[in-house]
Structure 1
């Protein structure tokens, strides 16, 4: 049985991709093959980089890409509220259509796989994830279930309670930026059955506070796919993974109360910030040294020397540290200082 890793990427997130691939190699996944699913056709740097790597390939099944883009398009165009909101914002029929290409994982070469959003770094072994796939068809490891269910499903829709037990549903939601599953778990047959349900009115229960994530969660829950979330079932033994948490850094590995993380996810931080950082700008990013370590692991001579921030940026950072949020508070403190 072939295990593998999928990553969604293009040149916009090239710095992320290099850092992630390097972290995979040195933190426990060196011998696991990687397949990159193209977010779009902006792939010049990606193609050049992976041509030098022996275990990384580019997903090139255009029939699969077309199928899943069409699937996502039909699902979301049947969501009347989504179409009204997105049209008012000047967006396309499907917000973030490229994100839905990650569904191509189910048509790829790997029998079992772990999917990574590109803005992720591997910190530890994935062996326990693959082992759990012997028991379940879908495995997650995140604390999404502790957040607002409205991020995934539209709680204002009266249809939601018709199809799901809301209490049970809360415990089963997951982040679609990192998960594990198997080839063919979502396929032409069951996806078309789900599409019939979506286009018959069920699409309205999908939240608009995400792109692919509501659709992934809907398909897993509505299909009854066997599901396991380490963070839910073993919370005392599982680490966090979101950059907003406070982790200990030892030799560029992150630890949560002494437990080594499996991965660090930079979700919701703009890729443009990382691009600016790698261009030499002093951009404030959590665990910045960790990211730069993996980004330039194989080319330390190209690591940029960051230009010192200007006075305004330093002041803003100090104000953030001090917890001063309002301009009038700042002015009051400065006036008091100078009036002494």
Structure 2
């Protein structure tokens, strides 16, 4: 079976993409083919970069893109709450429609694949992920299940309890920014039945805290395909992956209490901030030196020399760090109080 990697990207996240591609090459995925799914037509820099990397290609199945965008549009247009909220904000009828192009993974060339959001860095081997796909159709490796279900499903909807078993559902939610699956497990046949369920009223259970993520979680849970989450089943031996965690850095690789991370996800850090950093502005992001190392791995001479921040900026950062520390201390004390 062929194995590969998909990434959703365009020129807006070009700096992210280059850093990710470089991290793939040096941290265990050098020989794994990569396919870039276009977020939109803003791809000039992406196409130039692809031309320099023989193992990287561009997803060009326009029929697949059209199908999945149409699928998502039909779903969200029947979601009354979404339409009301998005219209009030002046947004398009389907917010972030392009994010649903991730579904094109199921129509690609790879028999089994791992999907990466562009704002990710590979830290370690992916072999164990691909091996798990020999037994399961869908594999995750995140701690989304510890978060509020409301990030994925609308808990105020009475239909939710009618459709899903809450006990099982909580253990099956995942972050749609990184996952592994097999070609065709979501396809024209089973998606048609799932679409009928959604437009007949089940769409209302989808949370508005995302667009593609609630829909991904619904389709995986509703279709009943086999699912495995390393973080849930092997929580004691699985590392974190979100930038907000405290990791140790050794030779530009991150470790969680001595265990090497598989990947680091810069989720919720804007592309604009990354672009400012790569343009030479003194922008603070977590593990900044790690990101810059991978971004300019093949062209260290172009790495920006960041000017040191002035006194006012340093004071503001110190104050922010102090406030965050105090808030964390308060949250810790409250958790201890309620856990008694």
TM range, smaller chain: over 0.9
The answer for the alignment partner of 1:287 in structure 2 is 287
TM-score by length of 1: 0.95
**Following superposition of structure 1 onto structure 2, how do residues 191-230 of structure 1 map, counting pairs within 5 Å?**
191-230=191-230
CA distance in 1, matches of 2:101, 2:310: 40
CA distance in 2, matches of 1:272, 1:285: 12
Indicate how the Cα distance of structure 1 residues 324 and 217 shifts in structure 2: closer, same or farther if over 3 A, else same: closer
1:243 aligns with 2:243: yes
The answer for the alignment partner of 2:20 in structure 1 is 20
TM-score by length of 2: 0.95
Shift of 1:320: 1.7
Shift of 1:312: 2.7
CA distance in 1, matches of 2:325, 2:86: 32
The answer for the alignment partner of 1:131 in structure 2 is 131
CA distance in 2, matches of 1:32, 1:255: 23
**Following superposition of structure 1 onto structure 2, how do residues 141-156 of structure 1 map, counting pairs within 5 Å?**
141-156=141-156
CA distance in 2, matches of 1:323, 1:176: 31
The answer for the alignment partner of 1:107 in structure 2 is 107
Unaligned runs of 5+ in 2: 327-340
Deviations, residues 101-134 of structure 1 (Å, cap 9, x unaligned): 0000000010000000000000000000000000
Unaligned runs of 5+ in 1: 327-340
The answer for the alignment partner of 2:49 in structure 1 is 49
Q: Secondary structure at the match of 1:236?
A: helix
CA distance in 1, matches of 2:211, 2:296: 31
The answer for the alignment partner of 1:173 in structure 2 is 173
Deviations, residues 238-259 of structure 1 (Å, cap 9, x unaligned): 0000000000000000000000
Contact 1:123/1:253, CA 8 A, preserved across alignment: yes
CA distance in 1, matches of 2:26, 2:166: 41
Deviations, residues 189-209 of structure 1 (Å, cap 9, x unaligned): 111110000000000000000
CA distance in 2, matches of 1:212, 1:325: 33
CA distance in 1, matches of 2:299, 2:160: 51
Higher Cα Rg, which structure:
1
RMSD value over aligned CA atoms?
1.1
The answer for the alignment partner of 1:183 in structure 2 is 183
Indicate how the Cα distance of structure 1 residues 232 and 325 shifts in structure 2: closer, same or farther if over 3 A, else same: closer
Q: Secondary structure at the match of 2:195?
A: helix
Contact 1:319/1:325, CA 8 A, preserved across alignment: no
Deviations, residues 273-292 of structure 1 (Å, cap 9, x unaligned): 00000000010100000000
The answer for the alignment partner of 1:334 in structure 2 is none
The answer for the alignment partner of 1:116 in structure 2 is 116
